[in-house]
Amino acid sequence: MSALLPALPAPVAPRPPEVQRFRLDNGLGVHLVSRRTLPIVDIALVIRAGAELDGAARAGRARFTGALLVEGTERRDGRAFAEAVDRLGAVLDVQTAWDHTTIALHVLAPRLAAALALVHEALTRPAFAASEFERKRRERLAALLQDRSEPRALATFHFARGVYGRDHPYGQPIGGTTPSVRALPADETRRCHALRYRPDNAFLVVVGDIDEPGLRTLLDDSLAGWQAPPSLPPPGQAPAPSAPAPLVLVDRPGAAQTELRIGQAAAPRSTPDYFPLLVLNAVLGGNFTSRINMRLREERGYTYGAGSSFAFRRGGGPFVVGTSVHGAATGAAVADVWAELERVRAEPVGEPELERARRSLTLGLAREFETTGAVADRVAEQVLYGLGESWFEQYVARIEAVDARAVQSAAGRWLDPAGRVSVAVGDRAVIEPGLAALGPISIASEPEL
Amino acid sequence: MIRIPVERFTLANGLRVVFSRDASAPAVAVNLWYNVGSRNERTGRTGFAHLFEHMMFQGSAHVPEMAHFALIEKAGGSLNGSTWLDRTNYYETLPAHYLELGLWLESDRLGWLLPAMTQEKLDNQRDVVKNERRWRVDNQPYGDWDERIQELMYPPDHPYHHSVIGSMADLDAASLEDVENFFRTYYAPNNAVLTLCGDFDPADARAQIERYFGEIPPGPPIPPIPGRSELPAHLGGEQRLTLEQDITLTRVYLAYRVPPFGDDGFYAALVASAVLATGRASLLYRTLLREQGLAQDVVAYAFPIVVGASMLVLWATARPHCTIDQLESALLRQVAALTEVSDADVERAIRMLEARQLIDLQTVDERADQLSMYTTLFDDPERVNTELSRVRAVTTAAVREFARAYLVPENRGVLRYVPRGGAA
């Protein structure tokens, strides 16, 4: 017979990376995690030029601006630039999120100098060729057309619209909508770049096989020469989200399943409830054994899986439960999710469940620092949101301090059913009766995304 | 450039064990490959290997229902399993000092699964898997592409003819007796590989493995893969299929029969796939997207599968103004251009494959999975260190020769998706 569960040792708190920090003369902050185990380096150059600043009318501008950096410079066209990156065996990507655009580089340490030169070239001398912009515009419009037949994309779009409305930045996809992309003037990308891409509005994270003197030498030959133009406008305030539409049905005749998104506008990254909300999410839908997955999958067999997350942004990003259920079960599945959201507000979470949620977060932290790229992401988040230099050291203690009362009170504040939006993308003929029993339904009638 | 340490031994019951120690890792990965996949399913039971994988998470003699997930999550670990054509894998990554928990859980379900199996659990997981099929395949644009490509590229009596997810009717037919038979046939230490990778003490780990796995008896000899595995080198005539779906953009898939994973010829196919579609400087990206504006995206993939023959599959999604015939012709022109591929394109492709492998090998779970794979498929974990030399050995002449020999009309399948009713 196999022995019973072995006695397990006490948990060991993960050891966070040590970050060295310095600033270049041009104002660019540098955050270095020197890690000499493998001959690789990951770099994240983070610019505070996120999609939130686009506003609804110019949605897509920040992402186009970032994407065009690597589609041609004053020295070489898009193809030649891509070939130069590939010849180094490097991976160079530009990602735009709500609060930042990041140029991410992964390269072998001996080729770092050459790769940094390419990053510098893309950052300071992009061509913004009209032909490349028009190509990207056509690709985005085609992708939006494609999304009309993609149930997950439809659900995500209509959820954001339902929660934030058509005037709030968060009510748009980061890449822009069909009307905003059609209307975007080509010179907007150049203007966005001139305004926001500057060393005092950015910072650099470097993780891997290099030390501080070595890095300083490389930067002297590259990013130290990046100069700031005169002034930077402060970010504006986003308009208030419009009144949410509580229950939205998006008809896909003949759909084999119903794609569900249920949630609401929730807390900003700066909320004092951050840690209680992490634990709350682990209880509800962050893990496999979380309540919503256990109910919908293991108890009911309605779905392959269900999960939830808080999207923490500068403004109040959404809390969302996402799943995909058998059409006939749609109404019952929505009711089950609502019941779980009510239960966590009404009753304190029991200690064993709470302890499992906390440990999954504290003991799982070590793996967040496993790869150079992952470390760069974590350090970037810490700097971007001003979390403080002892953030990683405090993390475990602050999770462990979250008790049942803190979870319940955070749930009370952030999961108020009055703000809740539930979106179902499925076959109306099959799912409408079950949903109608839950409340009045609005039928989405967006002709295009 | 990077050398992964490899140590191996075999228990008396036939369980092959691979150790790869990395004291700098923040965790330890426990990874098991069972040498059984959808290729081993009998007629009328497609999808069963995967349904069985789900049953492995439903508890065993000493592990209560759902305790497997709960214990790993409480230890700050992550876990999952997956089923593919040639294999089924199970894995957890844990803080280093919780290694023993992973070994205990894995040994209990390998040695003592059946007492925990019930009709209720089977019925529930059957519903879950049917929803997985709806989610992955039936409710996704182009979601049945791999199922269709397999049907086009492998004859009905070949084990790769049917998909991993299987048919709804076959899932409905699966019984508890099937669970028991499948377990007794394939889930034996002599049909498995256990890999540990990360921060652990090899002597302690070996003692724990002996303690937890050593008493599990070996199973009977593994039956041969059903059907006919051998295949001619060529498909023997173009296979075509056009499907109407609720989609807005048309898409074309091209598939070619190529040598199986592990054969020297496979690596030319792998390099060809990277020449075609890896990165923004690749042949298909620069022609179909950048120059001609015909396509929205391009992908190429050489399947790492070993029975009889593998496939090189590439696809492109059309821009709204591009017709399906234009897209197919444009793809075929670039495939034909591989017979004259340049040194620069081949060098670029090899660099990209090297870079990708170095990124992948950064995590202990990926390293462990590759070690289990090379041991299961080739009985050679060292291939994790030597595989890139096979890639680097591919010359421009070899890619051209591969293109002339394999990328020919009589060796291809063409799968086309068009919007229903012809409207976009």
Residues A115-167 have pLDDT tens digits of 999 999 999 999 999 999 999 999 999 999 999 999 999 999 999 999 999 99
How far apart (Å, rounded) are the C-alpha atoms in residues A441 and A432?
A: 8
How confident is the model over B375-396, as a mean pLDDT? 97
Q: Which pLDDT belongs to residue A368?
A: 86
In 3-state terms, what secondary structure has residue B20? strand
- Is there a contact between A370 and B279 if contact means CB atoms under 8 Å apart? no
How far apart (Å, rounded) are the C-alpha atoms in residues B36 and B17?
A: 17
How confident is the model over B280-288, as a mean pLDDT? 96
Name, in order, each residue with C-beta under 8 angstroms of B169's C-beta and a sequence gap of 6 or more. Answer: none
- The ipTM estimated for the assembled molecules is 0.93
A–B: how many Cβ contacts below 8 A?
212
B401 part of contact set with chain A, CB < 8 Å = no
Alpha-carbon gap: A25 to the closest alpha carbon of chain B (Å): 33
Residue B412 has pLDDT above 50, yes or no: yes
| Chain A contact set for B211 (CB, 8 A) | 3
How far apart (Å, rounded) are the C-alpha atoms in residues B423 and B244?
A: 10
- In chain B, the N- to C-terminal Cα span, in Å, equals 50
Name the nearest CA neighbour of B92 among B104, B108, B107, B81: B81
How far apart (Å, rounded) are the C-alpha atoms in residues B327 and B365?
A: 39
Residue A2 has pLDDT above 70, yes or no: no
Count the neighbouring beta carbons within 10 Å of the beta carbon of residue A231.
7
Alpha-carbon gap: B96 to the closest alpha carbon of chain A (Å): 9
Tokens of B77: 């670990």
β-bridge pairing A202-208 and A29-34:
parallel
How far apart (Å, rounded) are the C-alpha atoms in residues A258 and B31?
A: 34
Residue A1 has pLDDT above 50, yes or no: no
How confident is the model over B320-341, as a mean pLDDT? 97
Alpha-carbon gap: B73 to the closest alpha carbon of chain A (Å): 5
B229 part of contact set with chain A, CB < 8 Å = no
Task: Return the minimum-mean-pLDDT range out of A68-77, A110-119, A391-400, B381-390.
Answer: A391-400
Residues B210-240 have pLDDT tens digits of 999 999 999 999 999 999 999 999 999 999 9
Nearest CA in chain B to A427: B139
Of A9, A326, A367, the CB nearest to B26: A367
Of B95, B348, B364, the CB nearest to A86: B348
Confidence of residue A192 (pLDDT cuts 50, 70, 90): very high
Tokens of B309: 């023959």
Give the dihedral sign, CA B194/B200/B201/B207. Answer: negative
Alpha-carbon gap: B264 to the closest alpha carbon of chain A (Å): 24
- Is there a contact between A14 and B71 if contact means CB atoms under 8 Å apart? no
B77 part of contact set with chain A, CB < 8 Å = yes
How confident is the model over B322-328, as a mean pLDDT? 97
Among A181, A367, A378, pick the best mutation site for testing chain B contact (most B Cβ within 10 A).
A367
Phi then psi for residue B206, to 5 deg, are -65, -40
How confident is the model over A333-356, as a mean pLDDT? 97
Confidence of residue A303 (pLDDT cuts 50, 70, 90): very high
Of A15, A87, A135, the CB nearest to B293: A135
β-partners of residue B374 are: none
Nearest CA in chain A to B71: A356
β-partners of residue A422 are: A247, A262
Name the nearest CA neighbour of A175 among A131, A202, A136, A146: A136
Residues A365-390 have pLDDT tens digits of 888 889 999 999 999 999 999 999 88
Q: Which of residues 116-175 of B touch A (CB under 8 A)?
A: 123-132, 134-136, 138-141
Residue A12 has pLDDT above 90, yes or no: no
How far apart (Å, rounded) are the C-alpha atoms in residues B274 and B353?
A: 7
B107 part of contact set with chain A, CB < 8 Å = yes
Q: Check residues A228 and B245 and name the one with the higher pLDDT.
A: B245
B397 part of contact set with chain A, CB < 8 Å = no
Are the C-beta atoms of residues B381 and B371 closer than 8 Å to each other? yes
Q: DSSP secondary-structure letter at A286?
A: I
| Chain A contact set for B2 (CB, 8 A) | 38-39
How far apart (Å, rounded) are the C-alpha atoms in residues A173 and A161?
A: 9
Name the nearest CA neighbour of B277 among B265, B287, B291, B267: B287
Residues A48-86 have pLDDT tens digits of 999 999 999 999 999 999 999 999 999 999 999 999 999
Of B112, B134, B362, the CB nearest to A371: B362
Nearest CA in chain A to B94: A364
Q: Estimate the crossing angle of helix A78-87 against helix A112-124, to 10 degrees.
A: 160
Q: Which pLDDT belongs to residue A37?
A: 84
Q: Which of residues 324-363 of B touch A (CB under 8 A)?
A: 344, 347-348, 351-352, 354-355, 358-359, 362-363
Mean pLDDT, rounded, of chain A = 94
Compute the residue count for chain A: 449
B5 part of contact set with chain A, CB < 8 Å = no
- In chain A, the N- to C-terminal Cα span, in Å, equals 59
Name, in order, each residue with C-beta under 8 angstroms of B127's C-beta and a sequence gap of 6 or more. Answer: A301, A302, A326
Residues A227-245 have pLDDT tens digits of 887 777 777 777 777 777 7
Are the C-beta atoms of residues A238 and A169 closer than 8 Å to each other? yes
Are the C-beta atoms of residues B38 and B46 closer than 8 Å to each other? yes
The pTM of the full predicted model, rounded to 2 decimals, is 0.95
Alpha-carbon gap: A135 to the closest alpha carbon of chain B (Å): 7
Q: Which pLDDT belongs to residue B424?
A: 43
Are the C-beta atoms of residues A150 and A252 closer than 8 Å to each other? no
B395-401: long-range pairs with CB below 8 Å, 24+: B395/B346, B396/B341, B396/B342, B396/B343, B396/B346, B398/B268, B398/B271, B399/B268, B399/B271, B399/B272, B399/B275, B399/B338, B399/B341, B399/B346, B400/B338, B400/B339, B400/B340, B400/B341, B401/B268
Nearest CA in chain A to B70: A289
Instruction: Please name the helix (run of DSSP H) or strand (run of DSSP E) that holds residue A326, with its range, or none.
Output: strand A318-326
Question: Given its phi and psi angles, is residue B76 left (phi above 0), alpha (psi -120 to 50 degrees) or beta?
Answer: left
- Is there a contact between A301 and B124 if contact means CB atoms under 8 Å apart? yes
How far apart (Å, rounded) are the C-alpha atoms in residues B397 and B414?
A: 27
Of B1, B124, B320, the CB nearest to A145: B320
Residues A238-270 have pLDDT tens digits of 777 777 779 999 999 999 999 999 999 999 999
Q: Estimate the crossing angle of helix B67-74 against helix B99-111, to 10 degrees.
A: 170
Among A77, A105, A304, pick the best mutation site for testing chain B contact (most B Cβ within 10 A).
A304
Q: Which of residues 35-54 of B touch A (CB under 8 A)?
A: none
Name the nearest CA neighbour of B4 among B369, B378, B330: B369
Phi then psi for residue A310, to 5 deg, are -100, 125
Q: Which pLDDT belongs to residue B53?
A: 98
Q: Which residue has the tokens 């001609």?
A: B292
- Is there a contact between A298 and B124 if contact means CB atoms under 8 Å apart? yes
Among B65, B71, B72, B74, pick the best mutation site for testing chain A contact (most A Cβ within 10 A).
B74
